[in-house]
Amino acid sequence: MMWPILLALATPGPTCKAADRRVEAVIEAKVRATGGTEYCQERLYHTVDDLDGDDRDDFVVVFSIDTSGGDDLAQYLAVFPSATQWKPLVLKVGQRGERYVDEIQVDDDHRLVLLTSEFEPGDAACCPSGEGELVYRVTKGRITAVPYSTPETPPAKRS
């Protein structure tokens, strides 16, 4: 009767890491490159929209890396487009003192919209008081920023 107990103890518990090894490899590579520590509990995932126009959903994750024990947090966007056999596109999208990404959305024009908390002059290092957004388009295996101040890009709604 001890086997069920031993089996339960040997089974790994829930984790915030992705089951897909490709996602974890991209994040681990960025952690090694920066010499930091990743906080997987702060990851944001999005997998239900087509960004690259091939009629298949793409995979998006925003992850955070701290390079100084809590004082130098940076956020990275990784997009895995289905049209490029999931070859990841990675770029830095936020950091302490600048902005933090709070939410991932995709608009009706297949643009990737990152809703952000923006640091305003006088904000404490913990607490950005402004709101903003970053908008990107994924085409031909590249990710490009779309200025969000243009009439083409109306502000996204926060959920």
pTM for the model stands at: 0.83
- Phi, psi dihedrals of residue 13, rounded to the nearest 5°: -80, 180
Find where tokens 């004082």 sit.
71
| Nearest Cα to Cα of residue 79 among 34, 134, 37 | 134
User: Using an 8 Å Cβ cutoff, are 115 and 102 in contact?
Assistant: yes
Residue 7 lies in a domain: no
- Residue-number span of the structural domain to which 120 is assigned: 16-146
Per-residue pLDDT tens digits for 9-19: 555 666 778 88
- pLDDT reading at 121 higher than 90: yes
pLDDT of residue 118: 96
Find where tokens 């995932």 sit.
45
Residue 112 lies in a domain: yes
Residue 5 lies in a domain: no
Residue 151 lies in a domain: no
Residue 92 lies in a domain: yes
More confident residue, 67 or 155: 67
Residue 153 lies in a domain: no
Tally of domains in the chain: 1
Helix (H, G, I), strand (E, B), or coil: what is residue 124? Answer: coil
Per-residue pLDDT tens digits for 34-88: 999 998 889 999 988 999 989 999 999 999 999 877 678 899 999 999 988 889 9
